[in-house]
Amino acid sequence: MKSAILKTGAVAVTALLASSPAFAAPAADAAAEVAADAVSGGTAYIFNTLLFLIGGFLVMWMAAGFAMLEAGLVRAKNTSTQCLKNIGLYSIAGLMFWIIGYNIAYPGFAEGSSGLFGMAGTAYGMQGVGEADLETGYSVASDWFFQMVFCATTASIVSGTLAERIKIVPFFIFVTVLTGVIYPVVVSWEWGGGYLDSAWGFSDFAGSTLVHSTGGWAALVGAIILGARLGRYTDGKVNVFPGTNIPLATLGTFILWLGWFGFNGASQLAMGTVGDVSDVSKIFVNTNMAACGGVVIAIILTQLRYKKADVTMAMNGALAGLVSITAEPLAPTVGQSILIGMIGGAIVVFTVPLLDKFKIDDVVGAIPVHLFAGIWGTLIVAWTGDATFMGQLVGVLLTAVWVSVASAIVWFILKATMGLRPSAEIETAGLDVHETGVEAYPDLARQA
């Protein structure tokens, strides 16, 4: 945690002096000195904790964004099921991260260990009522909450890819393993001070690989094992299944965009110094501009390629830009951030049809957005941040191997024991009636 000492009274004095022309030059010197200082311990504790809490509830709000995006892009007969999956996976992630996930993610690797697998006890305790340990620099509860909502985001990525043809129970079982074990292990390698951090200097500021590519690999393996929706690929053709509610999907995109300011901004992990607060504001700008770049390039490319702009590509262009900048949202200039976001958006435009060529059915385009753009965003840190290309590449590959193998084992076990898909009759009729008993759009569902 960044720290130095600054008396709050000095800030006020500096501001007053700066307002007087007679003291303009001394004020400039004082301002430079203030920029390197921090507030006192108790005040820094409050500010840092607030950053975690505000960032945490913004990332939690992303769960609503994923739910709305997916509900808008699936067919009417599967909308309720998709909503159930999203509220269920968020809750499962919270429970599993409490029971075991956090302790795997932050095991406190012993010196000389491989830094690959570890666990810190079997339970996670919070501070007592009214208690605060100023040495930590922030509330223990605020840290846990901020980390937990990241965990839930990983599971949300899988939900959208496998929409419309997976049963609720096996999906929730997979989410239990993903959030309790698979994702926390990846986190431990970098944020937990493990192998990638200690041996390779791998850098992932807010999770292009640790969160987004992890969810992307799990989704890709699941999509391959599960197979495509009935009728999606027939006679060499790709049949388009339009989403039910584009305005709802657009709202979901904007909610995700908003939540990303907490995702990236609060990953600064400190707000107790002038420099920290300034950095958080820069992260906001870079995050926003990367998304803007992703949207604009997606609109341009689809207009050129298909002679019409594609709204779903534009939405995914925004998300790809956000994912791309997440690995390093602080170091780049605004121009670099826009370029990074634009390339992320272009990746989506060109890889969505590529998946169709391999008959990999991704309902919402989550694999191009979170996996492919996540890889791009991680590798480009070697240009914009303090990392080497080899270190970043090792992080990408190790994550790919671990998540893919672990996910495949779980998916195959579930497929062999309880099955992943509903019957063809149920899938054709829609999962809502069978899985939830509630049709979100009964008239539209019957037409579908």
pLDDT of residue 22: 39
Mean pLDDT, rounded, for 233-239: 94
- For 339, the token pair is 């370029």
Q: Could you give the CA distance from residue 233 to residue 223 in angstroms, rounded to a whole number?
A: 14
Please check the confidence at residue 252 and state whether its pLDDT lies above 50: yes
Residue bearing the bigger pLDDT, 131 or 247: 247
Residue bearing the bigger pLDDT, 69 or 16: 69
Q: Fill in the DSSP letter of residue 116.
A: S
pLDDT of residue 444: 67
* pTM of the predicted model as reported, rounded to 2 decimal places: 0.90
Please check the confidence at residue 277 and state whether its pLDDT lies above 50: yes
Burial 314-341 (b: 16+ CB within 10 A, else e): bbbbbbbbbbbbbbbbbbbeeebbbbbb
State whether residue 281 is helix, strand or coil: helix
Look at residues 297, 401, 285 and name the one whose alpha carbon lies nearest to residue 335: 285
Phi/psi of residue 117, nearest 5 degrees: -140, 135
Please check the confidence at residue 266 and state whether its pLDDT lies above 60: yes
Please check the confidence at residue 17 and state whether its pLDDT lies above 60: no
Q: Write the pLDDT tens digit of every residue in 299-354.
A: 999 999 999 999 999 999 999 999 999 999 999 999 999 999 999 999 999 999 99
Q: How far is CA 448 from CA 69, 221, 241, 260, 429, in A?
A: 20, 28, 10, 34, 8
pLDDT of residue 446: 55
Q: Write the pLDDT tens digit of every residue in 86-108.
A: 999 999 999 999 999 999 999 99
**Are 161 and 219 within 8 A, CB to CB?**
yes
pLDDT band at 33 (very low <50, low <70, confident <90, very high): low
- For 144, the token pair is 């846990």
Question: Nearest-5° angle of CA 151, CA 156, CA 158?
Answer: 110
Q: Could you give the CA distance from residue 214 to residue 447 in angstroms, rounded to a whole number?
A: 37
**Are 226 and 162 within 8 A, CB to CB?**
yes
- For 300, the token pair is 């341009």
Which residue do the tokens 């400039």 mark? 28
Please check the confidence at residue 148 and state whether its pLDDT lies above 90: yes
Q: Fill in the DSSP letter of residue 273.
A: B
pLDDT of residue 27: 46
Phi/psi of residue 273, nearest 5 degrees: -130, 160
Taking all residues of the chain, what is their mean pLDDT, rounded to a whole number? 90
Q: Write the pLDDT tens digit of every residue in 171-217.
A: 999 999 999 999 999 999 999 999 999 999 999 999 999 999 999 99
Phi/psi of residue 38, nearest 5 degrees: -130, 160
pLDDT band at 39 (very low <50, low <70, confident <90, very high): confident
Please check the confidence at residue 294 and state whether its pLDDT lies above 60: yes
| Helical segments of 97-204, H only | 102-105, 140-161, 168-177, 183-190, 195-200
pLDDT band at 132 (very low <50, low <70, confident <90, very high): confident
Q: Write the pLDDT tens digit of every residue in 371-397.
A: 999 999 999 999 999 999 999 999 999
User: In a 10 Å sphere around its CB, with 0-12 CB exposed, 13-18 middle and 19+ buried, how is residue 22 labelled?
Assistant: exposed
**Are 369 and 321 within 8 A, CB to CB?**
no
Please check the confidence at residue 123 and state whether its pLDDT lies above 70: no
Which residue do the tokens 């944020």 mark? 191
Which among 106-110, 112-116, 282-286, 440-444 has the top mean pLDDT? 282-286
Mean pLDDT, rounded, for 152-170: 98
